[in-house]
């Protein structure tokens, strides 16, 4: 009898000591979504449509906060844009978080203190497809650059370009 009691107690100890531990799956929250401007920041190599290297461009963060109208904005500067000037861009209207609207700059001054007209350009103006969009690590930039109003007073050769550049983040 004593032997049976000891065996029963041993069995009870084994059964309760070998209880299955509850495995709680670990929850890993998704990584935080970067701010709109953070996706664009970086060093870029810019190529023409035939994959020939043209120039280096950097996009740097410029400002986060309220603009003069009290609207919350983030800004970036495109350094060495078109291998000609630095362009400031404010993310005011967030239609598409991967879109970088070049906008219209009349009388923008280049590195040589010469004036230009710079504006966003569509590859196909009949479509509603947004240009200048960051896809993975590449921005295909469409823009129009001309000095038609300034080339005579500034004694420069006339220049007009409907440009298409491919910027690849390094």
- Sort strands 104-109 and 72-81 into parallel, antiparallel or unpaired: unpaired
pLDDT at 67 over 70: yes
Residue 102 has what pLDDT?
A: 80
Whose tokens are 């910027």? That residue is 167
Mean pLDDT, residues 24-46 taken together: 85
C-alpha to C-alpha distance for 114 and 98, rounded to whole angstroms: 31
Residue extents of the structural domains in the chain: 36-169
Choice between 5 and 164, residue whose per-residue pLDDT is larger: 164
Residue 38: φ, ψ to 5°: -65, -30
What percent of the chain is predicted at pLDDT more than 70?
Answer: 83
Reported confidence tier of residue 157, pLDDT bands at 50, 70, 90: very high
Mean pLDDT, residues 148-166 taken together: 93
Reported confidence tier of residue 117, pLDDT bands at 50, 70, 90: very high
Residue 79 has what pLDDT?
A: 96
C-alpha to C-alpha distance for 154 and 112, rounded to whole angstroms: 11
What tens digit of pLDDT does each residue of 99-113 get? 887 878 888 999 999
Reported confidence tier of residue 130, pLDDT bands at 50, 70, 90: low
Q: How many CB atoms lie within 10 A of CB 10?
A: 10
Reported confidence tier of residue 123, pLDDT bands at 50, 70, 90: low
Return the closest-CA partner of residue 76 out of 102, 119, 40, 43.
Answer: 40
Compute the mean pLDDT over every residue in the chain, rounded to the nearest whole number: 83
Mean pLDDT, residues 109-125 taken together: 83
């Amino acid at each position: 009898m004593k032997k049976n009691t000891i065996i029963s107690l041993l069995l009870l100890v084994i059964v309760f000591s070998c209880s299955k531990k509850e495995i709680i799956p670990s929850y890993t929250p998704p990584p935080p979504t970067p701010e709109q401007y953070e996706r664009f920041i970086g060093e870029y190599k810019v190529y023409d449509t035939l994959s020939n290297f043209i120039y280096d461009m950097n996009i740097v963060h410029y400002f986060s906060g309220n603009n003069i109208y009290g609207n919350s904005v983030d800004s970036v500067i495109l350094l060495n844009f078109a291998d000609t000037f630095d362009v400031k861009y404010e993310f005011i209207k967030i239609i598409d978080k991967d879109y970088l609207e070049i906008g219209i700059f009349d009388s923008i001054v280049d590195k040589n203190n010469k004036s230009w007209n710079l504006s966003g350009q569509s590859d196909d103006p009949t479509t509603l497809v947004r240009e200048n969009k960051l896809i993975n690590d590449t921005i295909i930039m469409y823009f129009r650059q001309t000095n038609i109003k300034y080339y005579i007073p500034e004694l420069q050769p006339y220049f007009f370009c409907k440009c298409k550049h491919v910027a690849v983040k390094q």
